[in-house]
């Protein structure tokens, strides 16, 4: 049985990433970059209990996405779903060499897994990790695409977004803020590269490619604290939408997910 999904953002950015999809009875996390204590507290703010989390999906093994994965999984016996490569990267992450995961489920890329209340299709997106996954989520007729930490938007990712009513997409940096900023050159090159992060401009161009009349929500995620502002990210995408006659707040909702924001969205 599929459920009507809600979306909760608990954290989004290099200091931690964690999202919840589902309802008060059944849901799941994407990534676990916040502590178990914070997770329980924030779930309670939205009348949810930790028992509603049936599993955790992991995008990739960078520490801001998995820092608290072992503790949450072990403490609450929550299984972890991701690809074989990402599972191995988690196991060998030096931050927690003796990590314990309650249950590992291997997902095959580009193959749909039926989790009961949601169908999950993982797909590869470019980033400088051992492997990095986006997720296409089907709650019956309601579809969501989530892709964070990517250097460029692939055609397969665009295709998933074109089928979705809601899209979560990285809008990490403003080009000029990054180029003129204090980061060392090697880090700037890493961020700007095809396996780095997505700029406000690149995110806005991707949105124009995948926009369709059924698209209801766009969530801009993983904003840099040093090289971006919520206002700059919002305006870059809003400007491109206006160029095709779409005013944010009318035909479509455009949101910026801020770094330590915990916020509930009814999709």
Stronger pLDDT, 252 or 260, i.e. the higher one: 252
The 10s digit of each residue's pLDDT in 127-178 is 999 999 999 999 999 999 999 999 999 999 999 999 999 999 999 999 999 9
Instruction: Give whole-number Cα distances, 83 to 28, 102, 134, 214, 259, in Å.
Output: 17, 16, 11, 30, 26
Cα angle 234-238-241, degrees, rounded to a multiple of 5: 150
The 10s digit of each residue's pLDDT in 68-97 is 999 999 999 999 999 999 999 998 887 776
pLDDT of residue 93: 80
Predicted TM-score (pTM) of this structure? 0.96
* Confidence class for position 2, pLDDT limits 50, 70, 90: confident
Domain ranges of the chain: 6-266
The 10s digit of each residue's pLDDT in 208-240 is 999 999 999 999 999 999 999 999 999 999 999
Mean pLDDT of 31-59: 96
**Residue 39 pLDDT exceeds 70:** yes
**Residue 4 pLDDT exceeds 90:** no
Mean pLDDT of 22-43: 95
Mean pLDDT of 239-266: 94
* Edge-to-edge strand ranges of the sheet holding 263-266: 104-106, 80-82, 53-57, 27-30, 18-22, 6-11, 263-266
**The two three-digit tokens of residue 45, written as one number:** 């703010």
**Residue 102 pLDDT exceeds 80:** no
pLDDT of residue 99: 64
Residues with Cβ within 8 Å of residue 117, at least 6 apart in sequence = 1, 2, 3, 22, 26, 54, 139
Cα–Cα distance measured from residue 266 to residue 54, given in angstroms and rounded to the nearest whole number? 20
Residues with Cβ within 8 Å of residue 160, at least 6 apart in sequence = 121, 123, 134, 136, 145
pLDDT of residue 261: 87
pLDDT of residue 62: 95
Cα–Cα distance measured from residue 111 to residue 264, given in angstroms and rounded to the nearest whole number? 29
Cα–Cα distance measured from residue 203 to residue 93, given in angstroms and rounded to the nearest whole number? 30
pLDDT of residue 259: 84
Among residues of the chain, what percentage have pLDDT more than 90?
A: 90
pLDDT of residue 124: 98
**Residue 250 pLDDT exceeds 80:** yes
Parallel, antiparallel, or unpaired for β 18-22 and 6-11?
Answer: antiparallel
Stronger pLDDT, 92 or 8, i.e. the higher one: 8
Among residues of the chain, what percentage have pLDDT more than 70?
A: 97
Parallel, antiparallel, or unpaired for β 133-139 and 18-22?
Answer: unpaired
Mean pLDDT of 110-122: 96
- CATH class of the domain defined by 6-266: alpha beta
pLDDT of residue 1: 60
* Confidence class for position 98, pLDDT limits 50, 70, 90: low
pLDDT of residue 113: 97
Cα–Cα distance measured from residue 57 to residue 135, given in angstroms and rounded to the nearest whole number? 9
Cα–Cα distance measured from residue 192 to residue 110, given in angstroms and rounded to the nearest whole number? 27
């Amino acid at each position: 049985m599929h459920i009507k999904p809600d979306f909760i953002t608990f954290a989004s950015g290099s200091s931690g990433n964690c999202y919840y999809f589902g309802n008060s009875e059944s849901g799941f996390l994407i990534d676990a970059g916040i502590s178990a204590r914070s997770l329980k507290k924030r779930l309670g703010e939205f009348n949810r209990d930790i028992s509603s989390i049936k599993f955790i999906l992991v995008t990739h093994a960078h520490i801001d996405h998995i820092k608290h994965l072992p503790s949450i999984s072990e403490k609450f016996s929550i299984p972890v779903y991701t690809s074989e490569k990402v599972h191995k990267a988690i196991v060998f992450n030096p931050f927690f060499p003796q990590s314990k995961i309650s249950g590992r489920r291997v997902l095959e890329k580009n193959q749909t897994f039926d989790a009961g209340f949601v169908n999950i299709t993982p797909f590869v997106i470019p980033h400088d990790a051992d492997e990095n996954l986006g997720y296409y989520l089907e709650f019956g007729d309601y579809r969501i695409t989530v892709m964070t930490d990517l250097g460029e938007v692939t055609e397969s990712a665009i295709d998933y977004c074109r089928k979705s009513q809601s899209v979560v997409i990285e809008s990490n940096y403003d080009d000029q803020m990054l180029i003129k900023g204090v980061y060392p050159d090697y880090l700037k090159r890493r961020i700007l590269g095809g396996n780095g992060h997505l700029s406000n401009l690149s995110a806005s161009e991707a949105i124009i490619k995948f926009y369709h009349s059924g698209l209801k929500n766009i969530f801009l995620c993983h904003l840099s604290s040093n090289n971006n502002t919520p206002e700059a990210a919002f305006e870059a995408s809003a400007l491109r939408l206006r160029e095709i006659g779409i005013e944010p707040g009318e035909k479509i909702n455009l949101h910026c997910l801020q770094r330590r924001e915990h916020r509930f969205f009814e999709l």
